[in-house]
Structures are given as C-alpha cells and as structure tokens.
C-alpha cells in the first residue's frame, strides 16, 4: 500500500470523526489566537490537515492528493532511493505547517478565525508533480485536461495570489499559495542535497521537458 493511500485513509477517518464530534474538531482545528496565547498548541498546524469542513471539501482534497501523490512517490523513488518515503512524508507534514505560517501571522489576534483542511500540503504535492512532469495535461476543476502543467502552474499561482488578497470567503487561499511555493523549494533543495543519485538537476529536467514540448 502506498504512503499516499495511507494518508488518504487516515485523513478520511479523522475527518469523519471530527465532522461528527465537535470536541475533536475543536482540539484539532487551526486556531491562531489559541496558538498565540499557548505556543505548545502549534501541533494544530499539522492536525488541522487531517480534518475537513464537509464531504465536498474532503473529497476534493483527497482526490487531488491521490491523483498526484502516487506519481510523486514514484519519482521520489528515483530521486531519493531508499529514503523516498522519508522525504515524501517530510514534504507533506512540513508543508502543512509552513503553508499556514502566513495565516497565523495575519490572524493570530483574531479570536474568531479558524482554518482546516489539507489544501496547503496537497498544493505542495501537486506542484511537485507538475514540476517533475511539466507537460502533463491538466484542467481547471471540472474542465477536462486541456493545458500542460507548466502553463497551468503560473495561472493557478496568479489566481491564488489574487484571491488570497481580494477573494474573501472561507477558503484559505494563502495556504494554497504558500503550500505550492514551498513544495517547489523543498523539491529543488532536497534533490540537490540528495545528489539525485547521479541524475541531472531537477531544474534541468524541467527545462528539458518544456523545451522538448515547445519544439514539437
């Protein structure tokens, strides 16, 4: 069983428990004000990624994660060898915390603000997948795959940046944005440190795939 599937199963189970138990939801949700007053509760930056607001929220995140997660795992086996699982888990868990830091800094004095969901970590995995296979065809939401990932990525980041500043609503677009950017930085740095086991640099591989695609 893949690590991706294990994370999906765990997230679904915890999310269902929290949806049906307000006490569990309260203990796991990201609440900047509580963390500001009691830093020992920073664990919420991780636990909030295993709970979701409703079935649609859960289904969308886990479907996106599963579609890209298994692919990224296979690439990580090529890049990191026997340490692939470690780096995959490190990416996912650390992305949960890193993506939520700007949210914490902005909302820490607002008692009423709360955030939940795996979107930031999922964005990290999705963008790592796009970087490793930039010519894959991707669509927007319910639109069928129509554009390559290296074009989809900048459009998504631009839209997410705009929404994080002007969108309003209940979606934490900031976590999506920082999760995606963190995923790219993590991949480039980790692959460099690991030496890619004699293979080319991930940036070179990305550029080669894009140039090949554009030259057709």
- The number of folded domains in the chain is 1
Nearest partner of 191 among 87, 71, 86, judged by Cα: 87
Distance in angstroms (rounded) separating the CA atoms of residues 79 and 56 = 34
- Rounded to the nearest 5°, which phi and psi values hold at 30? -80, 115
Range of the domain at 201: 3-214
Tokens representing 110 are 């607002």
CA proximity to 30, closest of 51, 9, 54: 51
- Is 34 in a helix, a strand, or coil? helix
- Reply yes or no on whether the pLDDT at 198 is more than 50: no
Instruction: Tell me what pLDDT residue 164 has.
Output: 84
Residue 132 is part of a domain; what is its CATH number? 1.20.1540.10
pTM: 0.92
Mean pLDDT of 169-197: 87
For the chain, the average pLDDT equals 91
Q: How far apart are CA 185 and CA 199, in angstroms?
A: 18
Mean pLDDT of 138-152: 78
Strands (E), the chain: 137-138, 147-148
Instruction: State mean pLDDT over 115-126.
Output: 96
Angle, CA of 138, 140 and 141, to the nearest 5°:
115
Whether pLDDT at 34 is above 80: yes
Question: In whole angstroms, what is the distance from residue 108 CA to residue 114 CA?
Answer: 10
Best mean pLDDT range from 67-81, 128-142, 169-183 = 67-81
Convert the pLDDT of each residue in 148-174 to its tens digit: 999 999 999 998 998 888 865 678 889
202 in Cβ contact with 196 (< 8 Å) = yes
């Amino acid at each position: 069983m893949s690590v991706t599937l294990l994370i999906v199963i765990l997230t679904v189970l915890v999310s269902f428990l929290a949806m049906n138990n307000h006490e569990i939801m309260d203990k796991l949700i990201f609440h900047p004000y509580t963390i500001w007053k009691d830093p020992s509760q920073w664990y919420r930056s991780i636990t909030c990624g295993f709970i979701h607001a409703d079935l649609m929220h859960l289904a969308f995140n886990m479907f996106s994660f599963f579609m890209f997660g298994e692919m990224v795992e296979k690439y990580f086996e090529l890049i990191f060898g026997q340490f692939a699982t470690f780096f995959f888990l490190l990416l996912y868990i650390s992305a949960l915390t890193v993506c939520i830091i700007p949210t914490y800094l902005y909302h820490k004095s607002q008692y009423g603000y709360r955030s939940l969901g795996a979107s930031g970590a999922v964005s990290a995995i999705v963008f790592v997948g796009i970087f490793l296979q930039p010519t894959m065809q991707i669509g927007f939401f319910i639109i069928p795959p129509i554009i390559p990932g290296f074009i989809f990525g900048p459009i998504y980041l631009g839209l997410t940046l705009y929404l994080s500043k002007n969108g309003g609503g209940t979606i934490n677009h900031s976590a999506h944005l920082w999760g995606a950017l963190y995923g790219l930085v993590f991949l480039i740095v980790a692959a460099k440190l690991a030496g890619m086991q004699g293979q080319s640099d991930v940036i070179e591989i990305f550029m080669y795939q894009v140039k090949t695609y554009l030259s057709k």
